[in-house]
Amino acid sequence: EDQVTQSPEALRLQEGESSSLNCSYTVSGLRGLFWYRQDPGKGPEFLFTLYSAGEEKEKERLKATLTKKESFLHITAPKPEDSATYLCAVQGWVAGNMLTFGGGTRLMVKP
Amino acid sequence: DSGVTQTPKHLITATGQRVTLRCSPRSGDLSVYWYQQSLDQGLQFLIQYYNGEERAKGNILERFSAQQFPDLHSELNLSSLELGDSALYFCASSVDGTSNEQFFGPGTRLTVL
């Protein structure tokens, strides 16, 4: 069974204070690892897909990296508008197309 | 805006009742997925349809059923509702049945009283 664990559950940062969110996973053959951003009461917004260890992707202040056991979402010089819950999900070859999500990291960036 | 639409936004009903949630995928997407998000369970996959056919099933209760119509919109039917069914229900779509990226709609918030 595919499993995803995210840490920390919540993270409070000052504006400009860089940090990283962790996503540890076990999967029966990784098809893809996904990062989503979710604002309260809204649907998850797609950020990145990573396919193989060593891959990195960037978008504005966010950079996602992938190893064989975990992924990191690095946030550089965050702004208050980056406050949201960040969700990590995996898609394995055995489980088909379903995404298995972690519990998320709730990020709060204070001005 | 992901291009996936869901109606209604909010639904309040009583235990034992039946409701139908509707989803229209992004233009050109053939596959639709349903997820349930509750406070204690997180985001859980329910079921996937591809071009009208059921493709994959997750932790979907027998009281729940879904279908995808020829115009590719999908409906999730929830019956004999219980208090514990209160949750956000999301629909997502992807280009085809094997595509990785899934794009989520805004969700339907179901409250069972």
> Cβ of B42 and A34 within 8 Å?
no
Produce one character per residue of B16-42: b if its CB has 16 or more CB atoms within 10 Å, e if not.
eeebebebbbbeebbbbbbbbbeeeeb
pLDDT tens for residues B8-18?
999 999 999 99
Asked if A40 is an interface residue toward chain B (Cβ–Cβ < 8 A), one would say no
In the stretch 66-85 of chain B, residues with CB closer than 8 A to chain A read none
Q: Which residues of B touch A49 (CB under 8 A)?
A: 100-101
Q: Which residues of B touch A98 (CB under 8 A)?
A: 33, 45, 48, 56, 58
Q: Are A33 and A16 in contact (CB under 8 A)?
A: no
Report the pLDDT value the prediction gives residue B97, as an integer from 0 to 100: 67
Asked if the peptide bond before residue A8 counts as cis, ω within 30 degrees of 0, the response is yes
Band of pLDDT at residue B96, cut at 50, 70 and 90: confident
Is beta strand A105-110 parallel, antiparallel or unpaired with respect to A10-14? parallel
**Beta bridge partner(s), residue B13:** B112
Longest dimension (CA), chain B: 38
Report the pLDDT value the prediction gives residue B23, as an integer from 0 to 100: 98
Q: Does residue B89 carry a pLDDT above 80?
A: yes
Low-confidence residues of chain A: pLDDT under 70: 95-96
Cα–Cα distance measured from residue A66 to residue A25, given in angstroms and rounded to the nearest whole number:
11
Out of B31, B43, B101, the one facing A46 most closely (by C-beta) is B101
Best of B2, B23, B24, B43 to mutate (most A CBs within 10 Å, chain A): B43
CA atoms within 13 A on the CB side of B82: 5
Closest CA to B71 of B96, B51, B91: B51
pLDDT tens for residues B33-80?
999 999 878 899 999 999 999 998 998 999 999 999 999 999 999 999
Q: If 0-12 CB within 10 Å is exposed, 13-18 middle and 19+ buried, where does residue A26 land?
A: middle
Q: Locate tokens 């940090």: which residue?
A: A19
Tokens matching residue B64 = 């729940």
Out of B2, B4, B56, the one facing A96 most closely (by C-beta) is B56
Report the pLDDT value the prediction gives residue B91, as an integer from 0 to 100: 97
Q: For chain A, give the secondary structure using H, E and C.
A: CCEEEEECCEEEEECCCCEEEEEEEECCCEEEEEEEEECCCCCCEEEEEECCCCCEEEECCEEEEECCCEEEEEECCCCHHHCEEEEEEEEECCCCCCCEECCCEEEEEEC
Report the pLDDT value the prediction gives residue A97, as an integer from 0 to 100: 77
Cα–Cα distance measured from residue A2 to residue A17, given in angstroms and rounded to the nearest whole number:
33
Shortest Cα–Cα distance, A91 to chain B (Å)? 8
Asked if B10 is an interface residue toward chain A (Cβ–Cβ < 8 A), one would say no
Q: Which residues of A touch B42 (CB under 8 A)?
A: 101-104
Out of A34, A43, A87, the one facing B105 most closely (by C-beta) is A43
